[in-house]
């Protein structure tokens, strides 16, 4: 009985994707939160478990306190993940694929900034130099 429970728990964790802490993993919910708060959404199109540059973006920028402090009142964070080791439920995978086509995502990572209606305001990818460099680039692309 104990073994069966452990196997079921392990299976649940391997078949469900989890967004990074502080990030919404449902695009529609994230967009609704952004709209309600009157702020744009920063949408991270990522291959979280296989894309080297995505992992670097997470480790060097998104996980840093400086980045988190900067975005907390300015952006709704949304993750659109395309994992290979932790399969998404079919409905979510289809929704993510539709979003990648809508926003013409050609590679990972792609960070798209959208307003509350989903209109693209700017985009960028991995930026070398840590949070300070990423924030500077984010400010440039959103002022265009």
Q: Which domains does the chain have, with CATH numbers?
A: 20-143 (3.40.30.10)
75 contacts 40 by C-beta, under 8 angstroms: yes
Residues of the chain with pLDDT under 70: 1-18
| pLDDT in the model for residue 83 | 97
Rounded Cα–Cα distance for residues 124 and 105 (Å): 11
| pLDDT in the model for residue 21 | 87
Rounded Cα–Cα distance for residues 6 and 19 (Å): 23
Question: Nearest CA to 90 among 98, 110, 105?
Answer: 98
Q: What six digits make up the tokens of 82?
A: 């395309």
3-state secondary structure of 60: helix
115 contacts 40 by C-beta, under 8 angstroms: yes
């Amino acid at each position: 009985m104990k073994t069966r429970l452990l196997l079921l728990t392990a299976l649940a964790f391997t078949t469900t994707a989890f967004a990074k802490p502080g990030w919404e993993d449902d695009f529609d919910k994230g967009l609704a939160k952004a709209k309600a708060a009157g702020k744009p959404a920063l949408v991270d199109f990522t291959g979280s478990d296989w894309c080297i540059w995505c992992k670097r973006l997470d480790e060097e920028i998104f996980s840093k306190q400086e980045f988190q402090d900067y975005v907390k009142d300015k952006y709704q964070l949304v993750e659109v993940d395309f994992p290979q080791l932790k399969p998404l439920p079919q409905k979510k995978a289809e929704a993510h694929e539709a979003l990648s086509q809508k926003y013409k995502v050609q590679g990972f990572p792609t960070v798209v900034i959208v307003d509350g209606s989903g209109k693209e305001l700017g985009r960028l990818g991995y930026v070398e130099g840590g949070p300070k460099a990423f924030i500077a680039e984010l400010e440039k692309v959103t002022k265009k």
